[in-house]
Amino acid sequence: MLLECPGAKQAWHEVQLWDTIDSTLRKNYNMDALIFTLTDQLPLVQRELFVTIMWSLWKRRNLKLWQQQNETIMQVMERAKHLLEEWRIAQNIRTRREDVPLTHQGNSNDGNVVEWSKSAYGRYKCNINASFSSSMHMVGIGICFRDDMGEFISAKTDCFSPLCDVDVGEAIGFHTALRWMTDLHYDNIDFALDSKIVVDHFWSHVEVDNDSEFGCIMSACRQMFENSFQNSHVEFNMRQVNGVTHELAKVAPYNASSHVYDNVSSCISSLIDDEKQ
Residue 103 in any domain: the answer is: no
pLDDT in tens, 171-180: 999 999 999 9
Residue 42 in any domain: the answer is: yes
What Å distances lie between residue 70 and 40, 62, 76, 229, CA to CA? 33, 10, 11, 32
- Cβ-contact 202, 221 below 8 angstroms: yes
pLDDT for the residue numbered 189: 94
H-type helices in 68-124, by residue range?
73-99
Count of structural domains, the chain: 2
Residue 91 in any domain: the answer is: no
pLDDT in tens, 150-198: 888 999 999 988 888 889 999 999 999 999 999 999 999 999 998 888 9
Q: In the chain, which residues have pLDDT < 70?
A: 28-29, 90-114, 205-211, 256-257, 263-277
Round to whole Å and give the CA distance between 226 and 188: 13
- The CATH code of the domain that includes 130 is 3.30.420.10
- Cβ-contact 170, 242 below 8 angstroms: no
- Domain boundary, last residue among 85, 110, 137: 85
H-type helices in the chain, by residue range?
6-14, 18-25, 31-41, 44-67, 73-99, 166-184, 196-203, 213-228, 243-251, 266-276
